[in-house]
Chain A
Protein backbone atom coordinates (compact mmCIF):
# COMPACT_ATOMS: atom_id res chain seq x y z
CA UNK A 1 0.00 0.00 0.00
CA UNK A 2 1.14 3.49 -0.72
CA UNK A 3 1.95 5.90 2.05
CA UNK A 4 2.72 9.60 2.31
CA UNK A 5 4.72 10.88 5.28
CA UNK A 6 4.98 14.50 6.34
CA UNK A 7 7.21 14.61 9.40
CA UNK A 8 6.81 18.30 10.25
CA UNK A 9 3.53 18.95 12.09
CA UNK A 10 4.32 22.66 12.22
CA UNK A 11 6.79 25.11 10.72
CA UNK A 12 7.55 28.78 11.27
CA UNK A 13 9.15 31.07 8.71
CA UNK A 14 9.86 34.77 8.59
CA UNK A 15 8.12 36.79 5.93
CA UNK A 16 10.15 37.02 2.70
CA UNK A 17 12.27 34.00 3.55
CA UNK A 18 12.15 30.61 1.82
CA UNK A 19 10.82 27.48 3.51
CA UNK A 20 10.93 23.78 2.66
CA UNK A 21 8.13 21.42 3.62
CA UNK A 22 9.13 17.77 3.65
CA UNK A 23 7.29 14.88 2.03
CA UNK A 24 8.39 11.28 1.59
CA UNK A 25 6.38 8.57 -0.07
CA UNK A 26 6.38 4.83 -0.33
CA UNK A 27 5.12 3.00 -3.39
CA UNK A 28 6.09 0.03 -5.50
CA UNK A 29 4.63 1.64 -8.61
CA UNK A 30 7.03 2.97 -11.21
CA UNK A 31 4.54 5.52 -12.50
CA UNK A 32 2.94 7.92 -10.06
CA UNK A 33 2.04 11.54 -9.61
CA UNK A 34 2.81 13.80 -6.66
CA UNK A 35 0.74 16.82 -5.69
CA UNK A 36 0.84 19.57 -3.11
CA UNK A 37 -2.29 21.26 -1.79
CA UNK A 38 -2.78 24.25 0.49
CA UNK A 39 -5.65 24.44 2.97
CA UNK A 40 -6.15 27.87 4.59
CA UNK A 41 -8.18 28.26 7.75
CA UNK A 42 -11.25 28.83 5.60
CA UNK A 43 -11.08 25.14 4.68
CA UNK A 44 -10.88 24.94 0.90
CA UNK A 45 -8.18 22.75 -0.63
CA UNK A 46 -6.14 24.64 -3.22
CA UNK A 47 -3.98 22.81 -5.77
CA UNK A 48 -0.42 24.18 -5.87
CA UNK A 49 1.88 22.00 -7.95
CA UNK A 50 2.25 18.59 -9.64
CA UNK A 51 5.26 16.34 -10.36
CA UNK A 52 5.13 13.17 -12.44
CA UNK A 53 7.49 10.35 -11.58
CA UNK A 54 9.03 10.42 -15.05
CA UNK A 55 9.41 14.19 -15.20
CA UNK A 56 13.11 14.91 -15.45
CA UNK A 57 12.89 18.49 -14.26
CA UNK A 58 11.57 19.68 -10.93
CA UNK A 59 8.16 21.31 -11.24
CA UNK A 60 7.81 25.03 -10.61
CA UNK A 61 4.73 27.23 -10.30
CA UNK A 62 5.48 30.82 -9.43
CA UNK A 63 6.88 30.91 -5.90
CA UNK A 64 6.36 27.17 -5.49
CA UNK A 65 8.86 24.55 -6.57
CA UNK A 66 9.03 20.85 -5.94
CA UNK A 67 12.38 19.32 -5.00
CA UNK A 68 11.88 15.83 -6.41
CA UNK A 69 14.46 13.19 -5.44
CA UNK A 70 13.19 9.94 -6.88
CA UNK A 71 15.84 7.64 -5.44
CA UNK A 72 15.13 8.98 -1.96
CA UNK A 73 11.37 8.98 -2.62
CA UNK A 74 11.02 12.54 -1.49
CA UNK A 75 9.01 15.41 -2.96
CA UNK A 76 9.63 18.46 -0.84
CA UNK A 77 7.77 21.72 -1.45
CA UNK A 78 9.84 24.89 -1.50
CA UNK A 79 8.06 28.22 -1.05
CA UNK A 80 10.23 31.19 -1.88
CA UNK A 81 9.72 34.71 -0.55
CA UNK A 82 7.08 33.69 2.01
CA UNK A 83 4.07 35.93 2.43
CA UNK A 84 1.66 36.25 5.36
CA UNK A 85 -1.04 34.72 3.17
CA UNK A 86 1.00 31.53 2.90
CA UNK A 87 0.04 30.63 6.47
CA UNK A 88 -2.01 27.45 6.07
CA UNK A 89 -1.94 23.66 6.21
CA UNK A 90 0.00 22.05 3.39
CA UNK A 91 -0.68 18.52 2.21
CA UNK A 92 1.41 16.25 0.02
CA UNK A 93 -0.54 13.68 -1.98
CA UNK A 94 0.03 10.91 -4.52
CA UNK A 95 -1.73 8.97 -7.26
CA UNK A 96 -0.44 5.73 -8.66
CA UNK A 97 -0.59 4.96 -12.35
CA UNK A 98 0.63 1.37 -12.54
CA UNK A 99 -2.06 0.00 -10.29
CA UNK A 100 -4.60 2.45 -11.62
CA UNK A 101 -5.38 3.96 -8.27
CA UNK A 102 -6.47 7.37 -9.33
CA UNK A 103 -7.67 8.72 -6.03
CA UNK A 104 -5.23 10.92 -4.20
CA UNK A 105 -3.68 9.62 -0.99
CA UNK A 106 -2.81 12.46 1.36
CA UNK A 107 -0.25 12.90 4.09
CA UNK A 108 -1.13 14.27 7.51
CA UNK A 109 -0.06 17.78 6.61
CA UNK A 110 2.27 20.53 7.84
CA UNK A 111 0.96 23.72 9.39
CA UNK A 112 3.01 26.67 8.16
CA UNK A 113 2.96 29.96 10.01
CA UNK A 114 4.55 32.98 8.38
CA UNK A 115 5.69 35.60 10.87
CA UNK A 116 6.03 39.30 10.02
Chain B
Protein backbone atom coordinates (compact mmCIF):
# COMPACT_ATOMS: atom_id res chain seq x y z
CA UNK B 1 0.00 0.00 0.00
CA UNK B 2 1.87 3.02 -1.28
CA UNK B 3 -0.94 5.45 -0.54
CA UNK B 4 -2.62 7.99 -2.79
CA UNK B 5 -0.14 9.98 -4.83
CA UNK B 6 -0.78 13.43 -6.28
CA UNK B 7 1.35 15.42 -8.68
CA UNK B 8 2.49 18.09 -8.71
CA UNK B 9 2.60 19.10 -5.04
CA UNK B 10 2.58 22.77 -5.93
CA UNK B 11 1.54 24.64 -9.06
CA UNK B 12 1.83 28.37 -9.66
CA UNK B 13 0.16 29.63 -12.80
CA UNK B 14 -0.96 32.87 -14.33
CA UNK B 15 -4.61 33.71 -14.67
CA UNK B 16 -6.04 32.38 -17.89
CA UNK B 17 -3.68 29.44 -18.20
CA UNK B 18 -4.77 25.80 -18.13
CA UNK B 19 -3.51 23.40 -15.50
CA UNK B 20 -3.76 19.64 -15.07
CA UNK B 21 -3.30 17.62 -11.91
CA UNK B 22 -2.80 13.90 -11.62
CA UNK B 23 -3.92 11.46 -8.93
CA UNK B 24 -2.79 7.86 -8.55
CA UNK B 25 -5.09 6.08 -6.10
CA UNK B 26 -4.33 3.04 -4.00
CA UNK B 27 -4.12 0.29 -6.60
CA UNK B 28 -7.07 -1.88 -5.62
CA UNK B 29 -9.42 1.01 -4.88
CA UNK B 30 -12.36 1.35 -7.22
CA UNK B 31 -13.61 4.75 -6.06
CA UNK B 32 -11.79 8.02 -6.63
CA UNK B 33 -12.81 11.46 -5.38
CA UNK B 34 -11.65 15.01 -6.01
CA UNK B 35 -12.07 17.69 -3.35
CA UNK B 36 -11.04 21.33 -3.08
CA UNK B 37 -9.95 22.91 0.20
CA UNK B 38 -9.40 26.59 0.87
CA UNK B 39 -7.59 27.95 3.89
CA UNK B 40 -9.49 27.42 7.13
CA UNK B 41 -12.27 25.40 5.53
CA UNK B 42 -13.17 21.77 5.22
CA UNK B 43 -12.74 19.97 1.91
CA UNK B 44 -15.51 20.60 -0.64
CA UNK B 45 -16.59 17.77 -2.88
CA UNK B 46 -15.98 18.23 -6.60
CA UNK B 47 -16.52 14.89 -8.31
CA UNK B 48 -16.33 11.14 -7.86
CA UNK B 49 -15.62 8.08 -10.01
CA UNK B 50 -16.60 4.47 -9.62
CA UNK B 51 -13.97 2.72 -11.73
CA UNK B 52 -13.93 4.78 -14.96
CA UNK B 53 -17.47 6.13 -14.63
CA UNK B 54 -17.93 9.65 -13.31
CA UNK B 55 -21.00 9.21 -11.12
CA UNK B 56 -21.42 12.53 -9.39
CA UNK B 57 -20.36 16.13 -9.96
CA UNK B 58 -20.78 19.06 -7.62
CA UNK B 59 -22.25 22.35 -8.76
CA UNK B 60 -18.84 23.74 -7.77
CA UNK B 61 -17.45 21.98 -10.83
CA UNK B 62 -17.96 24.67 -13.44
CA UNK B 63 -17.55 24.02 -17.15
CA UNK B 64 -13.91 25.11 -16.83
CA UNK B 65 -13.23 21.98 -14.77
CA UNK B 66 -13.02 18.51 -16.21
CA UNK B 67 -11.99 15.25 -14.62
CA UNK B 68 -11.22 11.92 -16.21
CA UNK B 69 -10.35 8.44 -15.09
CA UNK B 70 -9.91 6.74 -18.46
CA UNK B 71 -8.88 3.26 -17.42
CA UNK B 72 -10.28 3.21 -13.93
CA UNK B 73 -6.84 3.74 -12.43
CA UNK B 74 -5.26 7.19 -12.29
CA UNK B 75 -7.30 10.36 -12.69
CA UNK B 76 -6.65 13.84 -14.00
CA UNK B 77 -8.31 17.10 -13.08
CA UNK B 78 -7.97 19.93 -15.59
CA UNK B 79 -8.85 23.55 -14.97
CA UNK B 80 -9.11 25.71 -18.07
CA UNK B 81 -8.73 29.50 -18.10
CA UNK B 82 -7.75 29.60 -14.44
CA UNK B 83 -9.04 32.39 -12.22
CA UNK B 84 -7.63 33.69 -8.95
CA UNK B 85 -10.59 32.14 -7.15
CA UNK B 86 -9.35 28.73 -8.23
CA UNK B 87 -6.40 29.06 -5.84
CA UNK B 88 -6.80 26.24 -3.34
CA UNK B 89 -5.54 22.83 -2.29
CA UNK B 90 -6.93 20.11 -4.57
CA UNK B 91 -7.24 16.81 -2.75
CA UNK B 92 -7.69 13.39 -4.26
CA UNK B 93 -8.98 10.43 -2.27
CA UNK B 94 -9.73 6.81 -2.99
CA UNK B 95 -11.65 4.01 -1.32
CA UNK B 96 -12.65 0.42 -1.88
CA UNK B 97 -16.29 -0.54 -2.18
CA UNK B 98 -16.40 -4.24 -1.37
CA UNK B 99 -20.08 -4.57 -2.06
CA UNK B 100 -23.00 -2.46 -3.13
CA UNK B 101 -24.09 -0.14 -0.37
CA UNK B 102 -20.77 -0.27 1.42
CA UNK B 103 -20.78 3.22 2.89
CA UNK B 104 -18.36 2.77 5.73
CA UNK B 105 -15.21 2.56 3.66
CA UNK B 106 -12.98 5.41 4.76
CA UNK B 107 -11.46 7.67 2.15
CA UNK B 108 -7.70 7.65 1.89
CA UNK B 109 -6.41 11.06 0.92
CA UNK B 110 -3.32 12.15 -0.94
CA UNK B 111 -1.20 15.10 0.17
CA UNK B 112 -2.89 17.37 -2.34
CA UNK B 113 -1.82 19.77 -5.04
CA UNK B 114 -1.65 23.40 -3.98
CA UNK B 115 -2.64 25.70 -6.81
CA UNK B 116 -1.78 29.39 -6.79
CA UNK B 117 -3.20 31.54 -9.56
CA UNK B 118 -1.47 34.91 -9.91
Q: Is A68 an interface residue (CB 8 A)?
A: no
Q: Which of B33, B41, B107, B112 contacts A43 (CB 8 A)?
A: B112
Question: Which of the segments B15-23, B42-50, B65-73 contacts the partner chain?
Answer: B42-50
Q: Which of B44, B91, B104 contacts A45 (CB 8 A)?
A: B91
Q: Is A64 an interface residue (CB 8 A)?
A: no
Q: Is A113 an interface residue (CB 8 A)?
A: no
Complex Cα distance, B105 from A47, in Å, reads 10
A101:B56 contact, CB within 8 angstroms: yes
| CB neighbors of A among B34-63 (8 A) | 40-45, 48, 55-56
Question: Which of the segments A11-19, A76-84, A104-112 contacts the partner chain?
Answer: A104-112
B48:A106 contact, CB within 8 angstroms: no
A104:B45 contact, CB within 8 angstroms: yes
Complex Cα distance, B107 from A37, in Å, reads 10
Q: Is A102 an interface residue (CB 8 A)?
A: yes
| CB neighbors of B among A75-95 (8 A) | 91, 93, 95
Chain B residues with a Cβ under 8 A of chain A = 31, 33, 40-45, 48, 55-56, 89, 91, 93, 101, 103-104, 106-112
